[in-house]
Amino acid sequence: MSKINNLSITNLPDSMLEIKGEVAWEYFVKYEKKAFEQLSKLLEIDGFRKGSVPENVAKKHLGDELILSDMAELALQELYPSVLEENKIDAIGRPNVSITKLARDNSLGFTLTTAILPNIKLPDYKKLAKSAPAIAEVSVSEEEVDKVIEDLRQMRAYGHVHGPDDKHDHKEELPEVNDEFAKSFGAFKDLSELQTKIKENVLKEKDLAEKDKRRINIMDAIIKEATFDVPKIILESEQEKMIAQIESDVSRSGMKFEDYLAHTKKTRKDLMEEFKGEAERRARFQMVINAIAKDMDVKNTDEEVDSEAQKLMSQYPGADLARTKAFADMVLINEKILSSLENL
């Protein structure tokens, strides 16, 4: 017995796809029990506790149309991923669902409209990665170590580091730079040991900066030669992420986002437009990474994603687990691809 009959898949403009079909009643009816149980748990009727309404009473209040509607939602939630997998469709985001036929003892008719990843024509990315400038040798001068020492003195005395435009006068005296000063920052036996550790840390930071610089150069070269359009839904998603970050930052500062907009004399629409260029840059970066991962057949295991997601959840308690896993999956794939490219 086929679960979906009359399946048709049509490409639409702007990287959109239309999926039409019918779910045979014999299969569709299997969702009735679950749909009824879900809906009856939400019923609130005088004389009965919520979730404890008898079946015959619940059916009278729910009505057949509502039950069939919930059945349709359950069926499509389960069948949609299999349609994508069987037809090798790289869908993005949630589909727009339209029910075209819904009646007892009949097939469920539906139309799904979804955005899809465009066909990305990759250049010879391995050649481009190999030709990217090598990581530059880095070193740390005594002046740089002294600058960190000076910053530590100011932090210890003032609670902050003076910026170039800081006009604030302090009465507090800066601590003397000696062995005792070094010991106050941890398990350092003397000033020399603190200076050595500072030099190691600055060197590590510079190494990471050079590594990131090379990765950016590699990706910029690949993205420049890759040909594809960024679907509107992906661009808007990146813009929304950038606004969400601002909302989070503003909230942490104790200000309401509406007050922030009023203060900056901008609207949400203004921000969307302002972020458009950066959002497209981010979208192109991620889409090319994903295309390379597909070409190289690089994937994450469930164990890898779960482990990374748990680390993130411990840092951000209360975060949505599904979204955290999706983010963890992206982070791991990005690192695997960037690491592979820089080591070619």
CATH number at residue 50: 3.30.70.1050
The answer to the question of residue 26 being in a domain is yes
pLDDT digits (tens, 9 = 90+) for 126-180: 999 999 999 989 999 999 999 999 999 999 988 888 877 777 777 888 999 999 9
pLDDT digits (tens, 9 = 90+) for 257-311: 999 999 999 999 999 999 999 999 999 999 999 999 999 999 999 999 999 999 9
Within 10 angstroms of residue 72's Cβ, the number of other Cβ atoms is 21
For 98, the enclosing helix (H) or strand (E) is strand 91-101
Residues contacting residue 8 through CB under 8 Å, at least 6 positions apart: 19, 20, 21
For residue 38, being part of any structural domain is answered with yes
pLDDT tens digit sequence for 240-252: 999 999 998 999 8
Question: Pick from 210, 185, 205: which is nearest to 195 by CA?
Answer: 185
Specify if 59 maps to a domain: yes
Residue written as tokens 């497209």?
A: 280
The number of distinct structural domains making up the chain is 1
What number is the average pLDDT over the span 307-328? 87
Beta pairing, strands 108-116 & 16-23: antiparallel
pLDDT at 1 over 50: no
Q: What is d(CA 181, CA 198) in angstroms, rounded to the nearest whole number?
A: 14
In a domain, 101, yes or no: yes
Instruction: Say which amino acid occupies 230.
Output: V
Q: How far apart are CA 309 and CA 14, in angstroms?
A: 33
